[in-house]
Copies of this chain bind each other. A is one copy, B any other.
């Protein structure tokens, strides 16, 4: 099986050096450490490089020093409005620093995560960003053993073992619940994703319940519903709730669920806000412009993405833990039309 692709049209560092009349070493320095080469030589090399259409081979470079200029990002799923936003700015930020982003998603399958980490290590990534705190020991060990910096993004926890950048989900759950309590609601339902393998949902729910209890509101099983991350399924759950003894307000684990509940109301002829107040978490695209607008907690995905990028870059360069081990990014409540005083 001969390799077909030839390297005909690809000049190397050596060719550039030859044409510029300098040694390969100097050309290398020109690219990695431009300051230490004489201005005159610099321009000669620059000319040679562009006239040959030279593109450096970072793999060859990475072989020598141990940096590949690549950062891995492992997300549960890309197909999710809010992660997408994070990914977008994360990738942009990395490119500003001349790094590339290697993305992989595991669809909440931890076995896959091991395979992914392995694959990333084979590619000599300079750092890894994980989402959340629910991770298997094995991949973390593999990374630690090779001194690859790792951070967790999206969530914040004061006592996390990994450096983290994100929001405090207990607080998030508490804030939105508090909002309903402030509006006088006492019969509140909670619709959350399965908390088994989802630390975000778990923390949010526990924060929400804790807040409710302070007001003597104890969510019994009827008021505690599970809905997957899916508008249609959440809508079905919403219709179920409305068809029974309906509460006056609903706290939703995320905006997707909240949107489902909104549609359930519309389908059942229940007046949103007047009959049922709804709060979400996330402020996903669309939440602002629905009718009525959804009251929700804005999670600053952009800030998180940017901060995560900065942190992992810092670590990958210094090889040390980051100056700031844990960065808490504040979420803010956005009041829209979906909530009202009882």
Mask of A56-91 contacts with B, CB within 8 angstroms, 1/0: 111110110111111000000111110011011001
Mask of A87-121 contacts with B, CB within 8 angstroms, 1/0: 11001100100101111110100000001101111
Q: Does A259 contact B (CB under 8 A)?
A: yes
Contact B81 A87 (CB under 8 A): no
- Minimum CB–CB distance from A1 to chain B (whole Å) comes to 9
Contact B55 A63 (CB under 8 A): no
Contact B285 A231 (CB under 8 A): yes
A179 to chain B: which residues have CB within 8 Å? Answer: none
Contact B123 A58 (CB under 8 A): yes
For A, the interface residue count at a CB cutoff of 8 angstroms equals: 72
Contact B68 A78 (CB under 8 A): no
Q: Does A39 contact B (CB under 8 A)?
A: no
Q: Does A221 contact B (CB under 8 A)?
A: no
With A116-B95, A146-B9 known to touch, is A55 a contact of B122 (CB < 8 Å)? yes
Contact B70 A78 (CB under 8 A): no
Rounded to whole angstroms, the CA-CA distance of A142 and B104 in the bound complex is 27
Q: Which of B91, B105, B232, B288 contacts A105 (CB 8 A)?
A: B91
Q: Which of B4, B79, B91, B267 contacts A103 (CB 8 A)?
A: B91
Q: Which of B63, B68, B70, B85 contacts A79 (CB 8 A)?
A: B85
In the complex, chain A residues 254-299 whose Cβ is within 8 Å of any chain B Cβ? 259-260, 263, 266-267, 285-286, 288-291
Rounded to whole angstroms, the CA-CA distance of A99 and B115 in the bound complex is 12
A85 to chain B: which residues have CB within 8 Å? Answer: 79
Q: Does A53 contact B (CB under 8 A)?
A: yes
A7 to chain B: which residues have CB within 8 Å? Answer: 66
With A102-B102, A124-B59, A288-B232 known to touch, is A66 a contact of B9 (CB < 8 Å)? no
Rounded to whole angstroms, the CA-CA distance of A200 and B290 in the bound complex is 26
Rounded to whole angstroms, the CA-CA distance of A85 and B5 in the bound complex is 32
Rounded to whole angstroms, the CA-CA distance of A79 and B85 in the bound complex is 5
Rounded to whole angstroms, the CA-CA distance of A70 and B119 in the bound complex is 11
Q: Does A51 contact B (CB under 8 A)?
A: no
Contact A59 B68 (CB under 8 A): yes
A286 to chain B: which residues have CB within 8 Å? Answer: 231, 259, 286
Rounded to whole angstroms, the CA-CA distance of A72 and B291 in the bound complex is 40
Contact A57 B4 (CB under 8 A): no
A234 nearest in chain B by CB position: B289
Rounded to whole angstroms, the CA-CA distance of A118 and B53 in the bound complex is 11
Contact B100 A101 (CB under 8 A): no
Contact B288 A267 (CB under 8 A): no
With A5-B319, A289-B232 known to touch, is A91 a contact of B78 (CB < 8 Å)? yes
A92 to chain B: which residues have CB within 8 Å? Answer: 105, 107
Contact B79 A91 (CB under 8 A): no
Rounded to whole angstroms, the CA-CA distance of A78 and B81 in the bound complex is 9
- Minimum CB–CB distance from A115 to chain B (whole Å) comes to 7
Q: List 16 A-B contacts (CB under 8 A).
A: A3-B65, A4-B318, A7-B66, A9-B145, A10-B146, A55-B118, A55-B122, A57-B124, A59-B63, A77-B88, A91-B103, A95-B104, A231-B286, A235-B289, A259-B286, A263-B290
